[in-house]
Amino acid sequence: MKEKDACWECGVKMINKKVDYSLYGIRIGKFPAFVCQKCGETYFSEETSKKMTEITKKEGLWGLGAKTKIGQAGSTLDIRLNKRIIDFMQLKRGGEVNIYPESKNKLIIEV
Ligand SMILES: [Zn+2]
């Protein structure tokens, strides 16, 4: 059995540290975490995770990541965005975005 404060990835003892946490580019705050000195893996306690979830919900950042289906319009395909993303990114019909693949399985949309 591994030590309680050992990294799950490499088994190296982790140090207690306050780390900045941001979500979708918005700074949520500094939180106590265990950080592996070898691989940099960061772990938050269950209590800290709960607190972080509460804050992200309050900031309206919860559930922005979502699954969406690809639709078809003529010979082109549509990817639908949900209301939460539309509101968060302040997207408007007729607005322009830049779209490009970062890899074969990741698409970037820049507003
Ligand atoms: Zn590690």
Q: How far is the CA of 108 from the centre of ligand 1 (A)?
A: 30
Q: How far is the CA of 14 from the centre of ligand 1 (A)?
A: 8
Residue whose C-alpha is closest to residue 30's, from 41, 39, 17, 43: 17
Q: Domain check: are 105 and 77 in the same one?
A: yes
Give the pLDDT confidence of 73-110 residue by residue, as tens digits.
899 999 888 888 898 899 999 999 999 999 999 999 99
Give the pLDDT confidence of 8-63 residue by residue, as tens digits.
889 999 999 999 999 988 899 999 999 999 999 999 999 999 999 999 999 888 88
**Distance between CA atoms of residues 35 and 12, nearest Å:** 10
HSE-up of residue 9 (Cα within 13 Å, Cβ side): 11
Q: Domain check: are 24 and 49 in the same one?
A: yes
pLDDT at residue number 32: 96
Domain span at residue 103 reads 70-110
**Distance between CA atoms of residues 82 and 87, nearest Å:** 9
Q: How far is the CA of 33 from the centre of ligand 1 (A)?
A: 13
The answer to whether residues 8 and 41 touch, using CB atoms and an 8 Å cutoff, is yes
pLDDT at residue number 60: 84
Give the pLDDT confidence of 48-66 residue by residue, as tens digits.
999 999 999 998 888 888 8
The answer to whether residues 14 and 42 touch, using CB atoms and an 8 Å cutoff, is no
Count the neighbouring beta carbons within 10 Å of the beta carbon of residue 87: 11
Domain membership flag for residue 8: no
Q: How far is the CA of 70 from the centre of ligand 1 (A)?
A: 38
Residue whose C-alpha is closest to residue 41's, from 65, 22, 15, 23: 15
pTM to 2 decimal places: 0.66
Q: How far is the CA of 99 from the centre of ligand 1 (A)?
A: 35
Indicate the number of domains in the chain: 2
Q: How far is the CA of 15 from the centre of ligand 1 (A)?
A: 11
Domain membership flag for residue 83: yes
